[in-house]
Amino acid sequence: MPYSGSVSDMSTINAIVFSDLDGTLLDHHDYSFAAALPALRVVDERRIPLILTTSKTLAEVEEINRLLQNPQAAIVENGCAMCFPPDRDFGFEFGPHERIDGYAVKRSPPDYRAIRDFIVQQRTRHRYRLQGFGDMNPEQLRSATGLSLGQAANAGKRLCSEPFQWLDSEERLQQFLAAAEEAGLCTTRGGRFWHLMGKSSKALALEKMRTLLTAGQTGRPTVIALGDSENDRGMLQQADIAVVIRRHDGTHLDCRGKHRTIYTQQQGPAGWNAAILQILTEPGSLNPPNRGD
């Protein structure tokens, strides 16, 4: 599924796809995207940027984009970092950034060590029962996530957020969440884990990425977002077309996009495939709506 165009070809396209991974483009159980291949080919043929927008790490997304043959930028760790691959002409200046594994990375504070310090302090003070990725070795991560050992190791290479399992009462969870907010941190719920991070979100990162990718472009591309979990809510609400993927338990997240919302009947990548093919084959579906924003 090779992409032959330059990333700076943004002026020639009329849509951007922002997609969650786990339970959305990737199957909840085996992490396969095979069921989405027909739609992925159409996205590639139309030269529509596919921006993976996920709680996963840069190390994980780098490998997934390699398998997808997708050279685009990515939003990782629930919006805490925007990552631009090396040797690409994006047609704009990055501004202040870090170089991490060759990527130009713009990340939000605080760093991972500060987030881990908060968890350790709270756990020591209140004896909360929670287990973060930083408490697990690769074998334990593999068991908790269902990833391969190598994938689990990549999941532990975190920059600015910490997934954790809450093993205590609901009342004590609310106390922990309140302490995080007081410390200037945010929490959100994904498909498998809670996530602790700074004042970031997929929605904020989506808007920053859209602004960067469309700088100097006449007209605004239609933003399509796909997700299934609570940590996708803001991103879906920011999209012109929101695709709410049916979850593995048969339920849907209750939220809507700005102008159109599709609730898939199929789960995971099969639902992703059906929705994207529907959007991209309907006449006029990507015509700019009458926007009041």
Taking the domains of the chain in order of start, what are their residue ranges? 7-108+201-281, 112-197
Which pLDDT does position 217 carry in this prediction?
75
Q: Which residues are catalytic?
A: 20
The number of CA neighbours under 13 Å toward the Cβ of 135 is 16
Q: Tell me the average pLDDT across 239-267.
A: 97
Share of the chain above pLDDT 70, in %: 93
Mean pLDDT, the chain, integer = 91
What tokens appear for 66 in the block?
């390699």
- Model's pTM, two decimal places? 0.91
Q: Residue 205: exposed, middle, or buried by beta-carbon count in 10 A (0-12, 13-18, 19+)?
A: buried
Q: Tell me the average pLDDT across 235-259.
A: 96
Interhelix angle 170-182/112-126, nearest 10 degrees: 130
Per-residue pLDDT band for 1 (boundaries 50, 70, 90) equals very low
Which pLDDT does position 86 carry in this prediction?
79
Q: Using the Cα atoms of residue 208, residue 213, residue 217 and residue 223 in order, give the sign of their dihedral.
A: negative
Q: Tell me the average pLDDT across 143-165.
A: 94
Four-point Cα dihedral 87, 89, 94, 100, nearest 10: -20
Among 1, 29, 39, CA closest to 224: 39
* pLDDT at 182 exceeding the cut of 90: yes
* pLDDT at 8 exceeding the cut of 70: no
Buried b (16+ CB within 10 A) or exposed e, 10-24: beebebbbbbbbbbb
Q: Tell me the average pLDDT across 93-97.
A: 81
Which pLDDT does position 192 carry in this prediction?
87
Per-residue pLDDT band for 52 (boundaries 50, 70, 90) equals very high
Quote the distance between the C-alpha of residue 4 and its chain's center. 24
- Name the CATH topology of 7-108+201-281: Rossmann fold (3.40.50)
Which pLDDT does position 290 carry in this prediction?
47
Which pLDDT does position 214 carry in this prediction?
86
Say how many C-beta atoms besides its own lie within 10 A of residue 80's C-beta: 29
Which pLDDT does position 289 carry in this prediction?
53
- Same fold for the domain at 7-108+201-281 and the one at 112-197? no
Whether residue 74 contacts residue 53, with contact meaning beta carbons closer than 8 Å, is answered with yes
For residues 151 and 31, give the distance between their C-alpha atoms in angstroms, rounded to a whole number. Answer: 11
Per-residue pLDDT band for 92 (boundaries 50, 70, 90) equals confident
Q: Is the CATH number 3.30.980.20 carried by domain 112-197?
A: yes
Per-residue pLDDT band for 115 (boundaries 50, 70, 90) equals very high
Say how many C-beta atoms besides its own lie within 10 A of residue 271's C-beta: 27
Among 244, 154, 161, CA closest to 200: 161
* Three-class DSSP category at 250: coil
Per-residue pLDDT band for 288 (boundaries 50, 70, 90) equals low
For residues 258 and 51, give the distance between their C-alpha atoms in angstroms, rounded to a whole number. Answer: 19
